[in-house]
Structures are given as C-alpha cells and as structure tokens.
Amino acid sequence: GAVVSQHPSWVICKSGTSVKIECRSLDFQATTMFWYRQFPKQSLMLMATSNEGSKATYEQGVEKDKFLINHASLTLSTLTVTSAHPEDSSFYICSARGPREGAANEQFFGPGTRLTVL
Amino acid sequence: LAKTTQPISMDSYEGQEVNITCSHNNIATNDYITWYQQFPSQGPRFIIQGYKTKVTNEVASLFIPADRKSSTLSLPRVSLSDTAVYYCLVGDGNQGGKLIFGQGTELSVKP
C-alpha cells in the first residue's frame, strides 16, 4: 500500500516551453502532497506544500509564478514549470503524507521526474 | 525544524553491520526521528521511524539514547544493494508535515 506515482518519468523540452508533472497517490487519499527538487549529488530541496482544495505554500526563494502547483483532488497534484530554462533542469520528486493517523513524518515518495531543458 | 548532522560518506563491505549516526541536538519534545534511503534517480524510501529507545523492523534498527540528541541507524549484514544515500530527518509532522532533508550519508558497500 501507500504507492505514489509520477508522470512522466522523464521529459525533454525546449527553453521557453511549459512542462506539467503529475503526482498521484494510487491507493490512498492524500490531502497534503509535497514537491521537491534535487540537483545532481545534492540533497532534496523542498519547493512547496500542496494542499487539496487550497493554494500551495511555497518555500522561501521558490517562485510561485514559475512553479505552478494545483492539487485538485485527493489523489492528484500537478507541478507546472512555466517558461522553462536550462537552469530548471533537475530531478523533481513529489511525496504524499501517509494515511496513518498520528504517523509523524511518514511520507511516501514518487519515483521522480527527470526534466531536461534544452 | 531541528537540524541534523550526519557523516557525508561511509564505506563498508558485504556482510558487515553498518551503523550511521545522526546528531540532532535541538530535537523538540514532540519530534520523531525518521530515516529514508535513496538510490540514484529514485525517490526516497521510508526505512524506519522512532521516538525513543529502540525500534526494529525487517530491514533496520534504530537506536535512540535517552537524551534523544542523536540516533543510530543500524543495517545488519549489508549487501551491495544497500549502496545508497541515507537521510536522517527530525520533525513532529505537525508543521504541515514538512520534511527538510539534510545532506545525507552516502553509503558505499564493496564486495
């Protein structure tokens, strides 16, 4: 149980285009999902917290107009990288807070999406 | 959110027990300690979580001393497939459930 999927697993796009990444909780409902970015040989950096039915909360330094997050249902959150540039090339990972009540810090991560902007 | 400090890297050999220690001097009363494993180009995978003393599951043990200012992840009899980055995180899940990842420990298991 507690499986999170991401689509696509990798994407290559031209500079200036927008890319949408989907994150789905397959067998549980996730009111809260998180988006991370990871550059090579670095740790995960939290970008934003996505709450179903409300606006996302962005971490300091993350441009909300560039990284659009929509959490329209209890099983789906999307991250859209708008007007992508080569410096946005990274590994994007989503996670969903686990379904167990009182399970602090238990998050289930998706497999990640490799974005390459040419 | 409490800051964590781990060794940047560790080397081991197949069949050995590996202990990775994490310092979290500013841990709060309500904080839990959670460890994740990450392979290259994959999302992190939950390993184990604890609050105090010792927790054991099918893959690892977690030792937490009484003052809870550190914790040790113990991997018994590692294999080559345990080569990965291991992250120690501290939090109570109540701050919106946010997880802030530190630098992690890159474990390399050699034959």
How many angstroms separate the CA of residue B32 from the nearest CA in chain A? 7
Q: Please, what's the largest Cα pairwise distance for chain B?
A: 42
- Beta strands B9-13 and B105-110, pairing class: parallel
User: Residue B39 has which token pair?
Assistant: 């392979």
- Residue A39 near residue A108, CB atoms below 8 Å: no
Residues 64-103, chain B, touching A (beta carbon < 8 A): 87, 89, 91-94, 96-103
User: Residue A38 has which token pair?
Assistant: 């990871």
- Residue A105 near residue B93, CB atoms below 8 Å: yes
From CA A8, how far away is CA A107, in angstroms rounded?
21
pLDDT one digit per residue (tens) for chain B, 111 residues: 568 999 999 999 999 999 999 999 999 888 889 999 999 999 999 999 999 999 999 999 999 999 999 999 999 999 999 999 999 998 865 555 677 888 999 999 999
For the segment A48-72, what is each residue's pLDDT rounded down to a tens digit?
998 888 889 999 999 999 999 998 8
Give the model's pLDDT for residue A1.
62
Residue B84: strand pairing partners:
B107
How many angstroms separate the CA of residue B91 from the nearest CA in chain A? 7
Nearest to B89 among A97, A103, A105 (CB): A105
**A92 phi/psi in degrees, rounded to 5:** -105, 130
From CA B54, how far away is CA A65, in angstroms rounded?
45
- Residue A5 near residue A20, CB atoms below 8 Å: no
Give the model's pLDDT for residue B2.
65
From CA A9, how far away is CA A65, in angstroms rounded?
23
> Which residues of chain B have a CB within 8 Å of the CB of A6?
43
Measuring CA to CA, which residue among A38, A59, A32 is closest to residue B42? A38
> Which residues of chain A have a CB within 8 Å of the CB of B97?
32, 34, 49, 97, 105, 107
Residue B49: strand pairing partners:
B34
Q: Is the peptide bond before A86 cis (omega within 30 degrees of 0)?
A: no
From CA A62, how far away is CA A118, in angstroms rounded?
21
Measuring CA to CA, which residue among B93, B96, B40, B102 is closest to residue B71? B102
From CA B7, how far away is CA B103, in angstroms rounded?
9
Whether chain B has a CB inside 8 Å of the CB on A107: the answer is: yes
Strands (E), chain B: 9-13, 18-23, 32-38, 45-50, 53-56, 61-64, 70-75, 84-91, 105-110
Q: pLDDT below 70 — which residues of chain A? A: 1, 98-105
How many angstroms separate the CA of residue A38 from the nearest CA in chain B? 9
